[in-house]
Structure 1
Amino acid sequence: MTREDRAGRGRVEVAYDCFRFKHVAGTVARAVRAALFFGKKEKTAVFVFLVSDSVMAKINRETRGKNRATNVLSFVPPGGFPHPEAGDKNPYLGEIYLAPDFIKKSREDIAFLAIHAALHLLGYSHAQNNDRIEMEACEKKIYSAYVKHHHRN
């Protein structure tokens, strides 16, 4: 199952293989879209996958050598690598994997983590302290705007 968001003529597609993840697909798409807007990359393609803890553990093991589930992973394609479904008008920015059950158990916010992952696709990092400080400031700014815009009473 997928949910597609084409606001701003870019493409954020959220896929899930478990029906219980359907309720967060819209939240995730809007959060990623907010980060892309912040990074002035609205006209790009991002694919998001909502996966079970076991699938996330497998991806984490195969890509990072860590045999456990995690909350979020993001992958930037090799330079200039096209995605077959991104389309000619939407440069492919990358993929995000989120584990909603893991995130819920950890009492984390899936929208915040979607923003975090999208920032990685935009080139942000938290490997060095200065990079971490900059990335966290961006996360807070985007998340604050996201909450203000999407959680009105």
Structure 2
Amino acid sequence: MLTIDLYDETEQLDVAILNEIENLLQYAAKEETITQESELSVTFVTNERIQEINSEFRGIDRATDVISFALEDEVEGEMEIIDDDTPVLLGDIIISVEKAKEQADEYGHTFMREVGFLAVHGFLHLLGYDHMNDEDEKKMFTRQDSILNSFGLKRS
């Protein structure tokens, strides 16, 4: 079971979009065979806010579309605590609503397809997927396209 906390700091998204994002991430969790109780948050922000976060945490002073902060990365020397009753805290996904709208227009598909893409992209990062080299990028992008397409959010 995946517990998802959704926050719309922009107050621009209607309940239907938030519900669809939650359904999509629940679907992605099943596709990725997440069986342990897990939690994550998705926060929708402005370009200004995501630029602040990007600058503070990544040293890149510009707006971006999505940032993920995984909480389950093990640090060398860190003690692992195993407790079946404690949910796995996967992390936080932060999505710029403005960037999602810009990119949906640019790519010629719906806002829902773009925000869904960004949510799944962020979710896969929380699970350890990355795109730092060609092989990893191919694996991650193939996986996210598979999830989006089978969920019904195909590119236009």
Question: Is 1:13 equivalent to 2:5 in the alignment?
Answer: yes
Q: Equivalent of 1:102, from 99, 102, 113?
A: 99
Partner of residue 76, structure 1:
70
8 Å contact from structure 1 (residues 16, 22) kept in 2: no
Partner of residue 82, structure 2:
none
TM-score, normalised to structure 2, is: 0.78
**Equivalent-residue separation in structure 2 for 1:98 and 1:147 (angstroms):** 21
Q: Secondary structure at the match of 2:28?
A: helix
Question: Is 1:59 equivalent to 2:53 in the alignment?
Answer: yes
Task: State the Cα deviation string for residues 53-105 of structure 1 (Å, max 9, x = none).
Answer: 11100000001111111110001115479xxxxxx542111100001111101
Q: Secondary structure at the match of 1:140?
A: helix
Which runs of 5 or more structure 2 residues have no equivalent in the other structure? 76-84, 105-112
Q: Secondary structure at the match of 1:30?
A: helix
Give 1:2-151 correspondences, 5 Å limit. 9-23=1-15, 24-41=17-34, 43-77=37-71, 79=73, 88-107=85-104, 109-147=114-152
**Identity over aligned residues, as a percent?**
24
TM-score, normalised to structure 1, is: 0.79
**Equivalent-residue separation in structure 2 for 1:49 and 1:132 (angstroms):** 24
Q: Secondary structure at the match of 2:42?
A: strand
With over 3 angstroms needed to count, the CA separation of the structure-2 counterparts of 1:125 and 1:80, relative to structure 1, is closer
For the aligned residues, what is the CA RMSD? 2.2
**Equivalent-residue separation in structure 2 for 1:102 and 1:131 (angstroms):** 24
**Count of aligned pairs:** 135
User: Which of these two proteins has the greater Rg computed from alpha carbons?
Assistant: 2
Tell me which amino acid in the other structure corresponds to 2:26: R
